Structure 1
Amino acid sequence: MKYPFSALLAAFIFLFSFESIQAQNQSQLQGIVLDRENSLPLPGASVFWENDISSGVVSGLDGTFSISLQELPAVLKVSFVGYETSTREITEKDLGKQIRFFLSPEELSLEEVLIQELRPDENLRSLETGKNRVPIQTIKNIPALFGEVDLFRSLQLLPGVQTAGEGTTGLFVRGGSADQNLVQIDGAPVYNPSHFFGFFSVFNPDALSEVEMYKGNMPASFGGRLSSLIDVSLREGNNSKIHGEGGIGTISSRLTLDGPLFSENSTFVISGRRTYADVFLGLSSDEDIRNNKLNFHDLSGKAVFRVGDRDRISVSSYQGRDFLGLDDQFGLGWSNWVSSAQWSRNINAQAFFDLEAYHSRYYYSLEFEDPENGFDWGSRLSQSGLKGTWSQIRDEVQTYWGFHSQFYHFAPIDLIPVPGASFDGISTNPKNGLLNNIFAGASVELNSKLSLEGGLRWGFYNQLGSGVEYVYDGGIPGPDVEVLDSVRYDRLENIQFYQGLEPRVAFRYLINDQFSIKAAYNRNFQYVQIASNSSAGLPIDRWILADKYVSPIRSDQVSLGFFKNFQENKWELSIEGYYKTLDGIIDLRNGAQVLFTDNVETEILSGEGWSYGTEFLLRKNTGKTTGWLAYTWSRAWRKIEGISQGQAYNPRFDRPHDVTLVLNHEFSPKWSAGVTFVYTTGQAVTFPIGTYESDNQQLPLFSPFRNEDRFPDYHRMDASITWKNDNKGKKWRGSWNFSIYNLYGRKNPFAYEFREIYNDDIAFNPGDGDPITSSRQGIIMTYLFTFLPSITYNFQF
């Protein structure tokens, strides 16, 4: 069975029938709690009947609630800290629709109101392991490189998350490579979530409402990647007035506007960001520098429409582009364009339906102007998807089920030489894939101490035409293996089929009100991955789909965690351990070249991998001083025949020890400060073990064993101070942020170069004609930043 469409159709008929049955349930009253000034939802509001306070409920993250009906008419009350209580008489005419409660802020409230989306002990009571929520305000308070607040750099400060090196935003989660992270905006995947070769991520914090990161117990409704899910949501606008915020920084500026669109039932948000590094280049007196180009930009938008009391439709889009040009001789550019649409329907007080459609496109190109060796090279890949999810909440049981279909299209890679070039052009064949998934899951609270969660995801993958598959002598591809034949497939013709079951299970046992134990098991399959020589990730890395010679990767992960809160949930302590295995993991042969070949399978070897570790996190959530201390001990291993003589080796991102400290302190309503400290073991690398002579040149000699050496340990401290002006009665509110990256000027190595050094001067160029008095092999270390101050002005109106 290659296409389970009949099973899917039968399931959908059943589900829609079930939906109709559930719609008849009118035993619940449903509503939503909103802020009267900006129409934003108020999570955690108390909703109760006046004559029966014990029957109260709390509004969810989106402000919605459902409460059991009383004998009508009856009076319903809604209260929230810092807001006036709303009282309303409910009658029969209010049934079958969503009741809206608009709460007004208390005018006499003198202290700032802190809105928490989750209950203080949620970390103890939830079933989630290996999951982190990072508030947007926390991200904005962390000292930043060039003053540019960055989501990914904030995630790197969490336990179990590591980076490739200085200045990069690539994430390596629990021993997985960067391409094993599913990064999505409003449900749509982003293939390259970075700017400036990884120095910044594509996310403008002003445009975001929520960020969730799963690195352990991933719900069955998500899949396709092995290591983590980074779920980013664009924020919604308010429906009362135009509001704006932005900032002017050292390297870029940004602006976000939101407000009502057509009526109070529709809102919009539009956000933009652009660097002006190229503006400063144009002011240089050096013509070679003045003609260079270096910039990136982001543009995102979201519109939300409330249709009646039950339906909500949202449309969002993101577009970003980078370009680097050197004196009209060299050009490198890449861009993302992501769009999605979502329809949410409240079937009744207990049943919900969500439908998502998205399209994500990633394009990158390389240009080189030279009469003999010039060329244009470009590649384009895209993913389109449709996902439907039904969910139901009844008493202590929550269930969900649905489908997720994804179509991948990797366009041909074209290398077009300039007229008169000394080499021929190259064109690869396209790759297409169709992945259909069905999933279901449930969580149940068996008693006050024990909760269970289970889920199952079943994926059916087909590599489709049009395309070409090569036939190799002996059936195994290799750089020296002869190609015997090629088989061409027509459009949408099946080439290769894979399928896999992905079970997920978790439990939580609450020992007491301040201590719980959690455990989880997850299996995931990944059908798309990167073949790259770089651990940091480059914009021109080669993405490949599962096919006849490259099978999907499978991972199995078990995790166990202990969670303890102190001093009425002011402090959180967690210790989590994990063990993960990888089957079918790929790596490149020594000296592999993957960018310009149509036979990429000849440059790849596959095998197994495993990783394990322990993560420690101590967090303080409330008070004048907040922040966390994290420590991770972890190891990552690969074992692939043909690499390192078949022995186990560490990938470059294996870093056994990782320590991060994040502190924020509020001195007064106007002044606050932040400090971060990072320490990690140096990344694994392969250094030369000697030299040999070839064509009168001394060349480095490398060991056959991979990554046996390491860079020096990495450490750095950053600091920032923020000053806010007096906001009372002012429409324009501003603040200044002064930050220092690498406070004590540590010269952390970015790269090492092994080459000939003349006259004991690393800057000496023998081509200049000056006499050479000495020559020796040497090692030259490159570092990027030492003491780096920056200033940013942020504003709201």
Structure 2
Amino acid sequence: MPRFLYVVVVALVGWGGMGEGAARAQAPIDLRVTDAPLTAVLEEVRVQTNLELVYAERLVQGRTTSCSYTGDDRDAALMCALEGTGVQAERVRRGQYVLVSKSNQEIGAEASPRTSLKGYVLDAETGERLPGAHVYLTQLKAGATTNQDGYFVLSGLPPEDYAVRISYLGYRSADTTLTAGAGPVRISLAATSIQSEGVVVEAGSTRLDDSERRPGMSSVALNRLDQLPSFGEPDLFRALQWTPGIRKSGGVSGGLSVRGGNPDQNLYLLDGAPVYHPWHAFSLISTFQTQTLRSTDLYRGTFPAKHGGRLSAILDAQMKDGSRRAPKAVVGLSVLSGRFRIESPLTNSTSFMVSGRRSYLDKLVGRQHPVTGEDGRRDTLRTGYYFFDTSAKLTHRFGPNHRFSLSYYHGRDDLDLRLPFDLSLDFSSWLRPADLLFEVSQNWDNRVVSGQHRYLVGDDVFVTTTGYYSGYRAQEASFVQPTTTASLTSDYRVQLSDAGVRVQAAYHHSVSHELTGGLEVSSLQFESTLESDLQRSSRTATQRVQESRVSAAKVVGYLQDTWTPTPRWTVESGVRASYFSGGNYVHAAPRLSVQHVVHPRWLVVEGSGGLHVQYLQRLRDRYSLAYDLVSSRWVPASDRVRPAIGGQVGLGTYTQLRPGWTLEVDAYARENRHTLVPTDALQEKEGIDGPGIEIGALLGQYVTGAERAVGLELSTLYEHGSWRGRLVVSTGRTIVRAPARSGLRWRPSGLDVPVSVRSTLGWEGEHWQATAAAELRSGYPVTTPEARYQLGDPTATRSTTYLHRPQVHNGRLPPYFRVDLTVGYQFRVLSANWTATVDVFNVINRDNILDQTYRPTETGVNINRQRGLPILPLVELEMDL
């Protein structure tokens, strides 16, 4: 465990202890009244004891009390004030009481029976249950979050009426009064209407403690994604890039980098099942169809104990159950793809959702194109590419306490490419028939099946059982002919299978304690095959057939306690223990987060720390030109590969400057060990015959290293009327240490970005909406040569030129700047709601440099620059029935 993590965890615990110590400090209490109104005496008790008393005004009106007490026992002073009034105090948690009436039979009894306040939060339009909704008792300053079934429970309460506020991201908040001890209530939230008795709709909260916040977690408002710039259609991953600390690892392509971490350090979950390659179109579009999702939670650096297996981030997405009220259909058409979604009830207890999407550029452009050379020779150029994905979910409710859902996802990309030109990729003379050519057929797909059963045991225990299968497959068949007599034919395939069962139980002991525990068992299979034929000359050929199979088992157990000792303090502690059969590794990863409401109007402070273990790392063959996609393989921990271990601590503040204007500031520090770093960061893929599929050959291109990162993130959101603006500023450094040409020293990571500024400004009217978004960040690090030299033999006719690059990442690319624009119009035609959207990518047409390489020549150095996309308008049309 990193040393600095020990220090911060101890500081967090000490901070909480000091806060409680301050709460226990009590000035002498002097209470002397005779036949005084109970209302006035209770107020005096509040002032002198600092106790929080919750009661209905009608309960104390008209009652009087006599009391004489001197001392420092707050509870005794309260009991003295209530003596003989027919009212008794029920302790909810430390320093907090609910006053209830004593019946004739209960006078003199110790306490009235405790009960629960429980129910479901639903979508008013579809009837679908909303997970992650906040249910907050405004007087008790206590709350709960609905689970994945939309169920909430607050236990250990006296049977009284309570003022409750219900809120959910993207929905209108609702205030109502609920009775503890009654049956489960059903509360429907919508953007314009609330279905529940005695509800007052408010535009938003003016207090910071009116909702529960979890350190490191962000919930995505899925119904607002269409207001953010996208790549032709609403996309979850592009929307996440407007979250502090998240960006693409490349300018256009590449995975998500969270706080400078590698993309393989993120775990993506869909209905509890992991998705191992969540991208289409070479990382331009995510595989998650945004409009099929019910909720999405993102954890950055700080995970609850139920999540683990990665070092940087966890994305937990849940698919929609389907409308329970009426059939619904949505059809969308963008420049890149067409899509549909249908959801409908089948019976009163059964509903379904099914969706599909496919790109159609291959249908418009065609898969084969004839080319003709100057000599009249003909050849064929192939440029076929498409992707598709399908999602489906069936949900059945066996009764009020049983619910089962079955989810399915399948997505695939397919590329068929034939370029009849030499490997120099000289486009100056464009494509022409040639004996030198490059052919590749690539395809990759994800298939996920997940079944979940949720069972409410009594009122206070919720058991969720999940069984899943996740499979990732990729194939790359290549034909490379670098000369008229040499060629390489290869067929490289990889497959990863992950099947597991998870059982989780949540026990709501009281408003102060919620215990969560679980057990997960999973089996992983890694398979690779390679068939290749290397023709070195007309008489020399080498054939190779290889096969590799690796299996591993993982067992995980976790326990977590969410403790709210007072209305202003929340402590979430837990531990996650894991066993991985590859190498027989056993690890225990503790987690701790603390939240303190310094002022209910102005300031919330959060601190967190924890350890994480990652048993899988994704590596890429950096040598062979023929292999690119499939050589990017997940490698499990083993006797040769130690699991990566990371620790992260964070400290953040949240304040509401005024209603509708919030400000968040977060600081973090993390350290990862046993991560795999390329041996030669400057290695270019120029070999024809690769090292093969053996893991040892792949590991030979990597060394074990360490990584550190520190950063500060600021995010402010302002909403007023039809306007909505956001500003995100991130500063930080990410450095790595691994053996390299410059020795064992700390150097900037390839994803190190010292400064990043992103902003959006949106306006929404009755029919029109528009959003402008801008991003400005430091350029990525680049290794710049410092000298050029030549070596040669006295008998040779020509010397060989080399570049001298003593340090890795000693330079930096120019700053990156881009402005995007989105304009949408909503209208109604043919009894359907239509939305037309125009997205303009890089509206200022800035020529951004994404990468830069250097090649020596006899007279100098050629600089090759990879540039970002120019201005690109994209159009989408969506019909909602």
TM-score over 0.5 for the alignment? yes
Superposition pairs for residues 197-216 of structure 1, below 5 Å?
Answer: 197-216=282-301
Q: CA deviation at 1:234?
A: 1.1
Aligned equivalents of 1:723, 1:663: Cα separation in 2:
17
The one of 759, 762, 766 aligned to 1:669: 766
Q: CA deviation at 1:412?
A: 2.9
Task: Find the residue that maps to 1:644 and give its secondary structure.
Answer: coil
Change (3 A) 1:260 1:586: same
Q: What percent identity do the matched residue pairs reach?
A: 23
Q: After superposition, what is the alpha-carbon deviation per residue over 1:183-215, rounded to whole angstroms, capped at 9, x for unaligned?
A: 111111111111111111111111112221101
Show the counterpart of 1:378: 493
Change (3 A) 1:547 1:71: closer
Aligned equivalents of 1:104, 1:544: Cα separation in 2:
46
Aligned equivalents of 1:732, 1:114: Cα separation in 2:
31
Question: Does residue 415 in structure 1 map to residue 517 in structure 2?
Answer: no
Which amino acid in 1 is paired with 2:151? Answer: T
Show the counterpart of 2:219: 133
Which amino acid in 1 is paired with 2:126? Answer: N
Show the counterpart of 1:490: none
Which amino acid in 2 is paired with 1:638? Answer: V
Contact 1:125 1:508 in 2 (8 A): no
Show the counterpart of 2:646: 555
Q: After superposition, what is the alpha-carbon deviation per residue over 1:653-712, rounded to whole angstroms, capped at 9, x for unaligned?
A: 11111111122111x210110011011111112234435467958655252422222221
Question: Does residue 344 in structure 1 map to residue 344 in structure 2?
Answer: no
Contact 1:631 1:658 in 2 (8 A): yes
Question: Does residue 617 in structure 1 map to residue 715 in structure 2?
Answer: yes
Q: CA deviation at 1:74?
A: 11
Q: After superposition, what is the alpha-carbon deviation per residue over 1:110-160, rounded to whole angstroms, capped at 9, x for unaligned?
A: xxx999999775688645222222211232211223x13221121122111
Which amino acid in 1 is paired with 2:813? Answer: F
Aligned equivalents of 1:281, 1:713: Cα separation in 2:
35
Show the counterpart of 2:823: 721
Aligned equivalents of 1:56, 1:579: Cα separation in 2:
31
Contact 1:380 1:413 in 2 (8 A): no
Contact 1:125 1:510 in 2 (8 A): no
Superposition pairs for residues 196-595 of structure 1, below 5 Å?
Answer: 196-261=281-346, 263-282=347-366, 286=370, 291-327=382-418, 329-369=439-479, 372-393=487-508, 394-417=510-533, 422-463=541-582, 496-513=583-600, 514-532=602-620, 540-568=631-659, 570-590=660-680, 591=683
Superposition pairs for residues 32-47 of structure 1, below 5 Å?
Answer: 32-34=120-122, 38-41=126-129
Which amino acid in 1 is paired with 2:291? Answer: D
Change (3 A) 1:90 1:561: closer
Aligned equivalents of 2:273, 2:678: Cα separation in 1:
29
Aligned equivalents of 2:384, 2:263: Cα separation in 1:
28
Aligned equivalents of 1:305, 1:499: Cα separation in 2:
39
Aligned equivalents of 2:203, 2:550: Cα separation in 1:
43
Aligned equivalents of 2:177, 2:211: Cα separation in 1:
31
Contact 2:611 2:648 in 1 (8 A): yes
Task: Find the residue that maps to 2:700 and give its secondary structure.
Answer: helix
Change (3 A) 1:653 1:538: farther
Show the counterpart of 1:792: 876
Q: CA deviation at 1:323?
A: 1.3
Contact 2:782 2:852 in 1 (8 A): no
Q: After superposition, what is the alpha-carbon deviation per residue over 1:707-741, rounded to whole angstroms, capped at 9, x for unaligned?
A: 222221111000011111148xx741001111210
Change (3 A) 1:439 1:67: closer
Show the counterpart of 2:778: 681
Show the counterpart of 1:708: 810
**Unaligned stretches of 5+ in structure 2?**
1-112, 372-378, 420-438, 482-486, 623-627, 685-689
Contact 1:451 1:509 in 2 (8 A): yes
Aligned equivalents of 2:736, 2:163: Cα separation in 1:
60
Change (3 A) 1:777 1:418: closer
Change (3 A) 1:540 1:571: farther
Show the counterpart of 1:483: none
Which amino acid in 2 is paired with 1:669? Answer: E
> How many aligned positions are there?
708
Q: CA deviation at 1:782?
A: 3.0
Q: After superposition, what is the alpha-carbon deviation per residue over 1:617-666, rounded to whole angstroms, capped at 9, x for unaligned?
A: 11125631113111111111111235631111122111111111122111
Aligned equivalents of 1:108, 1:315: Cα separation in 2:
30
Contact 1:530 1:544 in 2 (8 A): yes
Change (3 A) 1:662 1:430: same
Tell me which moved more, 34-43 or 362-371: 34-43
Show the counterpart of 1:658: 756
Contact 1:33 1:64 in 2 (8 A): yes
Q: CA deviation at 1:235?
A: 1.5
Q: After superposition, what is the alpha-carbon deviation per residue over 1:492-520, rounded to whole angstroms, capped at 9, x for unaligned?
A: xxxx2111110000111111112011110
Contact 1:561 1:575 in 2 (8 A): yes
Q: CA deviation at 1:278?
A: 0.7
Change (3 A) 1:579 1:183: same
Change (3 A) 1:657 1:623: same
Q: CA deviation at 1:64?
A: 3.2
Which amino acid in 2 is paired with 1:524? Answer: H
- TM-score, normalization: structure 2? 0.73
Which amino acid in 1 is paired with 2:230? Answer: A
Q: CA deviation at 1:755?
A: 4.6
- Return the structure number with greater relative CO, CA threshold 8 A, min gap 6: 1
Tell me which moved more, 583-592 or 374-383: 583-592
Change (3 A) 1:684 1:199: same
- TM-score, normalization: structure 1? 0.80
Which amino acid in 2 is paired with 1:501? Answer: A
Contact 1:645 1:704 in 2 (8 A): no
Task: Find the residue that maps to 1:413 and give its secondary structure.
Answer: strand
Change (3 A) 1:389 1:699: farther
Question: Does residue 780 in structure 1 map to residue 880 in structure 2?
Answer: no
Task: Find the residue that maps to 2:747 and give its secondary structure.
Answer: coil
Superposition pairs for residues 59-74 of structure 1, below 5 Å?
Answer: 60=146, 62-66=149-153
Aligned equivalents of 2:162, 2:802: Cα separation in 1:
82
Q: CA RMSD in A?
A: 3.9
Aligned equivalents of 2:326, 2:610: Cα separation in 1:
45
Aligned equivalents of 2:256, 2:842: Cα separation in 1:
20
Aligned equivalents of 2:165, 2:861: Cα separation in 1:
76
Contact 1:382 1:410 in 2 (8 A): yes
Which amino acid in 2 is paired with 1:226? Answer: L
Task: Find the residue that maps to 2:238 and give its secondary structure.
Answer: helix
Superposition pairs for residues 26-37 of structure 1, below 5 Å?
Answer: 27-28=115-116, 30-34=118-122
Q: CA deviation at 1:387?
A: 1.0
Show the counterpart of 1:4: none
Which amino acid in 1 is paired with 2:605? Answer: I
Aligned equivalents of 1:548, 1:118: Cα separation in 2:
55
Task: Find the residue that maps to 1:143 and give its secondary structure.
Answer: coil
Which amino acid in 2 is paired with 1:164? Answer: S
Q: CA deviation at 1:57?
A: 8.4
Q: CA deviation at 1:352?
A: 0.6
Contact 1:376 1:418 in 2 (8 A): no
